[in-house]
Amino acid sequence: MRNAVLSAALVMAPLALSADPLPSWGASASKDRIIEFVEAVTDPNGADYVTPAERVAVFDNDGTLWGEQPVYFQLTFAMDRLADLAEADPSILTSPTLEAAANGDLQAVAKGGHDALIEVLNASHSGVSIEEFQASVAEWLNTARHPDTGLPYDQMTYQPMVELLRYLRDEGFRTYIVSGGGLHFMRVFAEDAYGIPPEQILGTYADTTYETADGAPVITKAPGIAFVDDKEGKPINIERTIGRRPILAGGNSDGDFAMLEWTTAGDGPRLGVLIHHTDAEREWAYDRESPIGKLVDGLDKGPDMGWVIVDMANDWNRIYTGSE
Protein backbone atom coordinates (compact mmCIF):
# COMPACT_ATOMS: atom_id res chain seq x y z
CA MET A 1 0.00 0.00 0.00
CA ARG A 2 2.81 2.39 0.95
CA ASN A 3 4.55 1.75 -2.38
CA ALA A 4 1.31 2.38 -4.27
CA VAL A 5 0.80 5.73 -2.53
CA LEU A 6 4.42 6.70 -3.21
CA SER A 7 4.10 5.76 -6.86
CA ALA A 8 0.91 7.81 -7.21
CA ALA A 9 2.61 10.78 -5.57
CA LEU A 10 5.54 10.54 -7.98
CA VAL A 11 3.16 10.44 -10.93
CA MET A 12 1.12 13.41 -9.71
CA ALA A 13 4.09 15.61 -8.79
CA PRO A 14 5.01 16.61 -12.36
CA LEU A 15 1.34 17.27 -13.10
CA ALA A 16 1.08 19.62 -10.13
CA LEU A 17 4.22 21.43 -11.17
CA SER A 18 2.94 21.87 -14.70
CA ALA A 19 -0.61 22.93 -13.74
CA ASP A 20 -1.71 26.02 -15.62
CA PRO A 21 -2.03 28.93 -13.15
CA LEU A 22 -4.21 30.86 -15.62
CA PRO A 23 -6.52 28.27 -17.20
CA SER A 24 -9.03 30.80 -18.57
CA TRP A 25 -6.29 32.57 -20.51
CA GLY A 26 -5.64 31.24 -23.99
CA ALA A 27 -2.14 30.58 -25.27
CA SER A 28 -0.80 34.04 -26.05
CA ALA A 29 2.14 36.38 -25.68
CA SER A 30 0.21 38.25 -22.96
CA LYS A 31 -0.15 35.16 -20.80
CA ASP A 32 3.47 34.15 -21.41
CA ARG A 33 4.81 37.56 -20.39
CA ILE A 34 2.78 37.63 -17.19
CA ILE A 35 3.91 34.16 -16.14
CA GLU A 36 7.51 34.88 -17.11
CA PHE A 37 7.45 38.03 -14.98
CA VAL A 38 6.01 36.27 -11.95
CA GLU A 39 8.48 33.41 -12.25
CA ALA A 40 11.40 35.83 -12.59
CA VAL A 41 10.57 37.93 -9.52
CA THR A 42 9.86 34.88 -7.34
CA ASP A 43 12.97 32.86 -8.23
CA PRO A 44 15.39 33.34 -5.30
CA ASN A 45 18.29 32.32 -7.52
CA GLY A 46 17.40 34.68 -10.35
CA ALA A 47 18.76 38.13 -11.11
CA ASP A 48 15.26 39.68 -10.96
CA TYR A 49 14.26 38.22 -7.59
CA VAL A 50 12.01 40.49 -5.51
CA THR A 51 11.47 39.86 -1.83
CA PRO A 52 7.90 39.04 -0.74
CA ALA A 53 7.63 42.33 1.15
CA GLU A 54 8.08 44.23 -2.12
CA ARG A 55 5.73 42.09 -4.20
CA VAL A 56 2.86 44.55 -4.38
CA ALA A 57 0.34 44.38 -7.23
CA VAL A 58 -2.40 46.95 -7.76
CA PHE A 59 -5.47 46.73 -10.00
CA ASP A 60 -8.23 49.02 -11.11
CA ASN A 61 -11.71 47.55 -10.62
CA ASP A 62 -14.23 48.87 -13.17
CA GLY A 63 -13.40 47.41 -16.57
CA THR A 64 -10.36 45.59 -15.20
CA LEU A 65 -11.71 43.16 -12.61
CA TRP A 66 -15.41 43.37 -13.47
CA GLY A 67 -17.56 44.93 -16.20
CA GLU A 68 -18.38 48.59 -16.59
CA GLN A 69 -20.77 48.84 -19.53
CA PRO A 70 -23.15 50.38 -20.42
CA VAL A 71 -22.60 52.41 -17.25
CA TYR A 72 -20.51 52.03 -14.10
CA PHE A 73 -22.28 49.52 -11.88
CA GLN A 74 -22.14 51.81 -8.87
CA LEU A 75 -24.17 54.44 -10.72
CA THR A 76 -26.81 51.80 -11.44
CA PHE A 77 -26.88 51.04 -7.72
CA ALA A 78 -27.18 54.75 -6.91
CA MET A 79 -30.16 55.18 -9.23
CA ASP A 80 -31.87 52.04 -7.94
CA ARG A 81 -31.33 53.12 -4.35
CA LEU A 82 -32.62 56.60 -5.07
CA ALA A 83 -35.78 55.10 -6.55
CA ASP A 84 -36.29 53.02 -3.39
CA LEU A 85 -35.72 56.02 -1.14
CA ALA A 86 -38.10 58.16 -3.19
CA GLU A 87 -40.82 55.53 -2.97
CA ALA A 88 -40.72 55.93 0.80
CA ASP A 89 -40.27 59.72 0.70
CA PRO A 90 -40.96 61.44 -2.65
CA SER A 91 -39.92 64.80 -1.19
CA ILE A 92 -36.25 63.87 -1.55
CA LEU A 93 -36.52 64.35 -5.33
CA THR A 94 -35.74 68.04 -5.19
CA SER A 95 -34.49 68.53 -8.76
CA PRO A 96 -35.12 67.32 -12.32
CA THR A 97 -31.84 65.39 -12.13
CA LEU A 98 -32.96 63.42 -9.09
CA GLU A 99 -36.37 62.80 -10.61
CA ALA A 100 -34.72 61.49 -13.78
CA ALA A 101 -32.38 59.26 -11.80
CA ALA A 102 -35.20 57.81 -9.72
CA ASN A 103 -37.07 57.06 -12.96
CA GLY A 104 -34.05 55.27 -14.41
CA ASP A 105 -33.46 57.93 -17.08
CA LEU A 106 -29.73 57.49 -17.53
CA GLN A 107 -29.52 59.73 -20.57
CA ALA A 108 -30.97 62.68 -18.67
CA VAL A 109 -28.52 62.14 -15.82
CA ALA A 110 -25.62 61.85 -18.26
CA LYS A 111 -26.56 65.15 -19.90
CA GLY A 112 -26.04 66.84 -16.54
CA GLY A 113 -22.39 65.77 -16.50
CA HIS A 114 -20.25 65.71 -13.39
CA ASP A 115 -22.56 67.93 -11.31
CA ALA A 116 -25.53 65.66 -11.95
CA LEU A 117 -23.53 62.58 -11.02
CA ILE A 118 -22.44 64.14 -7.72
CA GLU A 119 -26.03 65.17 -7.00
CA VAL A 120 -27.25 61.60 -7.50
CA LEU A 121 -24.43 60.15 -5.41
CA ASN A 122 -25.04 62.62 -2.58
CA ALA A 123 -28.75 61.84 -2.50
CA SER A 124 -28.29 58.07 -2.60
CA HIS A 125 -25.08 57.58 -0.62
CA SER A 126 -25.16 60.10 2.25
CA GLY A 127 -26.98 60.56 5.52
CA VAL A 128 -26.56 56.96 6.66
CA SER A 129 -23.96 55.09 8.67
CA ILE A 130 -21.30 53.10 6.88
CA GLU A 131 -22.97 49.91 8.10
CA GLU A 132 -26.40 50.93 6.80
CA PHE A 133 -24.96 51.94 3.46
CA GLN A 134 -23.05 48.71 3.02
CA ALA A 135 -26.12 46.67 3.98
CA SER A 136 -28.01 48.39 1.16
CA VAL A 137 -25.20 47.54 -1.27
CA ALA A 138 -25.26 43.90 -0.19
CA GLU A 139 -29.04 43.72 -0.63
CA TRP A 140 -28.77 45.27 -4.10
CA LEU A 141 -26.09 42.80 -5.15
CA ASN A 142 -28.33 39.94 -4.03
CA THR A 143 -31.29 41.11 -6.10
CA ALA A 144 -30.16 43.30 -9.03
CA ARG A 145 -29.40 41.87 -12.45
CA HIS A 146 -27.49 43.39 -15.34
CA PRO A 147 -29.91 44.46 -18.11
CA ASP A 148 -27.90 42.85 -20.91
CA THR A 149 -26.34 39.73 -19.42
CA GLY A 150 -28.99 38.92 -16.81
CA LEU A 151 -26.19 38.12 -14.37
CA PRO A 152 -25.85 39.40 -10.81
CA TYR A 153 -23.35 42.23 -10.92
CA ASP A 154 -20.89 40.46 -8.64
CA GLN A 155 -20.86 37.52 -11.08
CA MET A 156 -19.68 39.83 -13.84
CA THR A 157 -16.18 39.68 -12.45
CA TYR A 158 -13.65 38.54 -15.05
CA GLN A 159 -12.63 34.93 -14.49
CA PRO A 160 -9.16 35.42 -16.05
CA MET A 161 -8.45 38.30 -13.67
CA VAL A 162 -9.72 36.38 -10.63
CA GLU A 163 -7.24 33.67 -11.62
CA LEU A 164 -4.46 36.21 -11.98
CA LEU A 165 -5.12 37.63 -8.53
CA ARG A 166 -5.07 34.14 -7.03
CA TYR A 167 -1.91 33.23 -8.90
CA LEU A 168 -0.13 36.33 -7.65
CA ARG A 169 -1.10 35.68 -4.05
CA ASP A 170 0.00 32.07 -4.36
CA GLU A 171 3.39 33.44 -5.40
CA GLY A 172 3.71 35.75 -2.41
CA PHE A 173 2.19 38.96 -3.79
CA ARG A 174 -0.14 41.26 -1.91
CA THR A 175 -2.97 42.33 -4.21
CA TYR A 176 -4.76 45.67 -3.91
CA ILE A 177 -7.67 47.34 -5.65
CA VAL A 178 -7.02 50.97 -6.59
CA SER A 179 -10.18 52.23 -8.23
CA GLY A 180 -12.18 55.34 -8.98
CA GLY A 181 -15.16 53.45 -7.56
CA GLY A 182 -16.45 54.11 -4.08
CA LEU A 183 -14.34 52.73 -1.25
CA HIS A 184 -17.27 51.61 0.90
CA PHE A 185 -19.15 50.23 -2.11
CA MET A 186 -16.27 47.96 -3.18
CA ARG A 187 -15.54 46.76 0.34
CA VAL A 188 -18.89 44.97 0.37
CA PHE A 189 -18.07 42.41 -2.32
CA ALA A 190 -14.33 42.48 -3.06
CA GLU A 191 -13.24 39.90 -0.50
CA ASP A 192 -15.75 37.31 -1.72
CA ALA A 193 -15.32 38.19 -5.39
CA TYR A 194 -11.54 38.60 -5.56
CA GLY A 195 -10.06 37.44 -2.27
CA ILE A 196 -8.98 41.02 -1.50
CA PRO A 197 -9.77 42.13 2.07
CA PRO A 198 -11.26 45.55 2.89
CA GLU A 199 -7.98 46.98 4.15
CA GLN A 200 -6.40 46.39 0.73
CA ILE A 201 -8.97 48.42 -1.17
CA LEU A 202 -8.26 52.00 -2.19
CA GLY A 203 -11.03 54.02 -3.77
CA THR A 204 -12.89 57.29 -3.96
CA TYR A 205 -14.39 58.25 -0.64
CA ALA A 206 -16.92 60.78 0.57
CA ASP A 207 -16.79 63.10 3.52
CA THR A 208 -17.77 61.40 6.77
CA THR A 209 -18.72 62.50 10.26
CA TYR A 210 -18.22 60.91 13.66
CA GLU A 211 -20.83 61.27 16.37
CA THR A 212 -22.59 59.35 19.11
CA ALA A 213 -26.21 58.36 18.72
CA ASP A 214 -28.08 56.76 21.63
CA GLY A 215 -24.74 56.33 23.35
CA ALA A 216 -23.12 54.49 20.44
CA PRO A 217 -20.38 55.92 18.19
CA VAL A 218 -21.36 56.15 14.53
CA ILE A 219 -19.48 57.10 11.36
CA THR A 220 -21.90 58.60 8.86
CA LYS A 221 -21.50 59.23 5.16
CA ALA A 222 -21.90 62.95 4.46
CA PRO A 223 -22.50 64.80 1.19
CA GLY A 224 -19.39 65.72 -0.79
CA ILE A 225 -16.37 63.88 -2.13
CA ALA A 226 -13.26 63.96 0.05
CA PHE A 227 -10.89 62.24 -2.42
CA VAL A 228 -11.21 61.07 -6.02
CA ASP A 229 -9.09 57.98 -6.61
CA ASP A 230 -8.64 58.40 -10.34
CA LYS A 231 -5.87 59.40 -12.79
CA GLU A 232 -3.02 61.10 -10.88
CA GLY A 233 -4.91 60.45 -7.66
CA LYS A 234 -4.18 56.73 -7.94
CA PRO A 235 -0.39 56.82 -7.49
CA ILE A 236 -0.82 59.53 -4.86
CA ASN A 237 -3.19 57.31 -2.89
CA ILE A 238 -0.96 54.25 -3.32
CA GLU A 239 2.04 56.12 -1.95
CA ARG A 240 0.01 57.58 0.90
CA THR A 241 -1.77 54.38 1.90
CA ILE A 242 0.47 51.46 0.95
CA GLY A 243 3.83 53.19 1.24
CA ARG A 244 5.50 51.05 -1.44
CA ARG A 245 5.68 51.47 -5.18
CA PRO A 246 4.03 48.39 -6.74
CA ILE A 247 5.94 46.16 -9.12
CA LEU A 248 2.82 45.21 -11.09
CA ALA A 249 -0.19 47.32 -12.01
CA GLY A 250 -3.27 46.47 -14.05
CA GLY A 251 -5.91 48.72 -15.58
CA ASN A 252 -8.03 49.24 -18.66
CA SER A 253 -8.41 52.95 -19.29
CA ASP A 254 -6.57 56.25 -19.36
CA GLY A 255 -7.81 56.78 -15.83
CA ASP A 256 -5.26 54.10 -14.92
CA PHE A 257 -2.42 55.51 -17.02
CA ALA A 258 -0.68 57.39 -14.20
CA MET A 259 -0.82 54.32 -11.94
CA LEU A 260 0.81 52.10 -14.55
CA GLU A 261 3.30 54.80 -15.54
CA TRP A 262 4.42 55.35 -11.94
CA THR A 263 4.58 51.62 -11.23
CA THR A 264 6.70 50.75 -14.25
CA ALA A 265 9.02 53.75 -13.85
CA GLY A 266 10.53 52.28 -10.68
CA ASP A 267 13.83 50.44 -10.43
CA GLY A 268 14.07 46.71 -11.00
CA PRO A 269 11.58 44.39 -12.71
CA ARG A 270 8.18 45.98 -13.35
CA LEU A 271 5.09 45.09 -15.33
CA GLY A 272 2.10 47.08 -16.53
CA VAL A 273 -0.98 45.22 -17.80
CA LEU A 274 -3.79 46.89 -19.75
CA ILE A 275 -7.05 45.10 -20.51
CA HIS A 276 -8.20 46.10 -24.01
CA HIS A 277 -11.93 45.51 -24.49
CA THR A 278 -12.04 44.00 -27.96
CA ASP A 279 -14.78 41.39 -27.55
CA ALA A 280 -18.11 42.68 -28.90
CA GLU A 281 -19.63 39.18 -28.89
CA ARG A 282 -19.00 38.04 -25.33
CA GLU A 283 -18.72 41.49 -23.73
CA TRP A 284 -18.26 44.96 -25.28
CA ALA A 285 -15.69 46.38 -27.69
CA TYR A 286 -14.61 49.93 -26.85
CA ASP A 287 -11.56 52.11 -26.40
CA ARG A 288 -10.77 55.51 -27.97
CA GLU A 289 -14.25 56.98 -28.34
CA SER A 290 -15.98 55.44 -25.35
CA PRO A 291 -17.34 57.73 -22.60
CA ILE A 292 -16.83 54.78 -20.25
CA GLY A 293 -13.33 53.30 -19.99
CA LYS A 294 -11.79 55.53 -22.66
CA LEU A 295 -8.40 54.17 -23.72
CA VAL A 296 -6.12 56.33 -25.87
CA ASP A 297 -2.80 57.02 -24.13
CA GLY A 298 -2.49 53.42 -22.98
CA LEU A 299 -2.79 52.12 -26.53
CA ASP A 300 -0.49 54.76 -28.00
CA LYS A 301 2.23 54.79 -25.34
CA GLY A 302 1.87 51.53 -23.44
CA PRO A 303 3.66 49.23 -25.90
CA ASP A 304 6.76 51.46 -25.97
CA MET A 305 6.75 51.44 -22.17
CA GLY A 306 6.82 47.64 -22.17
CA TRP A 307 3.25 47.15 -21.00
CA VAL A 308 1.26 44.02 -21.78
CA ILE A 309 -1.84 44.92 -23.80
CA VAL A 310 -4.33 42.11 -23.23
CA ASP A 311 -6.62 41.51 -26.20
CA MET A 312 -9.78 40.30 -24.47
CA ALA A 313 -11.26 38.63 -27.56
CA ASN A 314 -8.13 36.65 -28.39
CA ASP A 315 -6.37 36.22 -25.03
CA TRP A 316 -9.27 35.09 -22.84
CA ASN A 317 -11.09 31.79 -23.22
CA ARG A 318 -13.76 32.86 -20.74
CA ILE A 319 -15.09 36.25 -19.65
CA TYR A 320 -17.31 36.23 -16.56
CA THR A 321 -17.12 34.10 -13.45
CA GLY A 322 -20.89 33.73 -13.62
CA SER A 323 -21.02 32.17 -17.08
CA GLU A 324 -19.22 29.45 -18.98
Helix, coil or strand: residue 105: coil
> What is the rounded average pLDDT of the residues 104-112?
93
Chosen domain end from 143, 160, 195: 143
Domain extent, residue 57, equals 21-70+152-315
**At residue 246, does pLDDT exceed 60?**
yes
CA distance 322 to 324: 7
* Range from 16-20, 120-124, 130-134, 201-205 carrying the lowest mean pLDDT: 16-20
Distances (CA, A) of 86 to 83, 98, 102, 131, 223: 5, 9, 7, 21, 18
Q: How many domains in the chain? A: 2
More confident: 172 or 111 = 172
SS (H, E, C) 227-265: ECCCCCHHHHHHHHHCCCCCCEEEECCHHHHHHHHHHHC
Residues 256, 210 share a domain: yes
Per-residue pLDDT tens over the stretch 122-170: 999 999 999 999 999 999 999 999 999 999 999 999 999 999 999 999 9
5 occurs within a structural domain: no
* 224, HSE (Cβ side, Cα atoms, 13 Å): 6
Per-residue pLDDT tens over the stretch 132-142: 999 999 999 99
Residues 206, 66 share a domain: yes
- Position 12 confidence tier, pLDDT thresholds 50, 70, 90: low
CATH code of 233's domain? 3.40.50.1000
Sheet hosting strand 56-59, strand order edge to edge: 216-227, 201-213, 174-182, 56-59, 248-251, 271-276, 308-311
Distances (CA, A) of 172 to 54, 55, 106, 289: 10, 7, 43, 38
> What is the rounded average pLDDT of the residues 217-244?
97
